[in-house]
Amino acid sequence: MTTQAEKALDHLAARLKGVDLDELIKAGRQLLARDRMPSTPDGYPSGGDGGSGNGTNTAVEASVFARERRSDDPVHEAAKRYLKALDGLVADIDSVNNALRSITKPTTTEANCELHARIGAKVLARYYRNPRSVFDGSRHLCGPCFNFCDNHGIAPTDEQVTFYERAGVWKYRRTTRTASVDRLALGTEYRETA
């Protein structure tokens, strides 16, 4: 049985298979090449550059006419829409890639949570990430340790991990004093400084 999300993914995948990106880029290059050529609608004077055309325009009038012609140019407007849509497409693809990268993907090996390993407990790690850049690099973390780091922006101390193992809840209290936690390598002790 497929879920609604899987059906939506299959539908989007089918639509993406029908898109030829090389053809899109080729057509875009042709559009931009046409955009470089001035296109003055029939019936309008081709002057406006200060010395040619109707011959009565000053340099200021020429720039005004050029801007007006450019804003009425359907090829130029199509080129602007094409570039804006392509920019949005690339941004959306980047968003998809970032979402996939940021998904807390299960570790491929049977690794133990590195924070639990410090207190001697063996808990299987579910994630290999660095939530909110708490550590110097990615670490093997179990779900509760990952959530603690992601929610609070710091790694739990050994005492907090021990308390969690005994009670099943995190012991975390904010104080009025600001406590900074040294984010050194995972193997070192964390020192709280007031």
Q: pLDDT for 47-83, tens place per residue? A: 544 444 455 667 777 777 666 665 667 887 888 888 8
Amino acid at 130: N
Task: Give the least confident one: 142-151, 158-167, 173-182.
Answer: 173-182
Q: Is there a contact between 155 and 170 (Cβ–Cβ < 8 Å)?
A: no
pLDDT tens for each residue of 91-124: 788 777 766 765 655 545 678 899 999 999 988 8
Alpha helices in 18-157 (DSSP H): 21-36, 59-72, 74-102, 114-117, 143-152
| Residues 162, 119 contacting (CB under 8 angstroms) | yes
- Written as six digits, the tokens of 69 are 């012609």
Main-chain phi, psi angles of 157, to 5 degrees? -75, 170
pLDDT at 185 over 50: no
Q: Give pLDDT, residue 161.
A: 93
pLDDT of residue 180: 44
Q: Mean pLDDT of all residues in the chain?
A: 75
pLDDT of 188 higher than 70: no
Decide: 174 and 151 in contact? Cβ < 8 Å: no
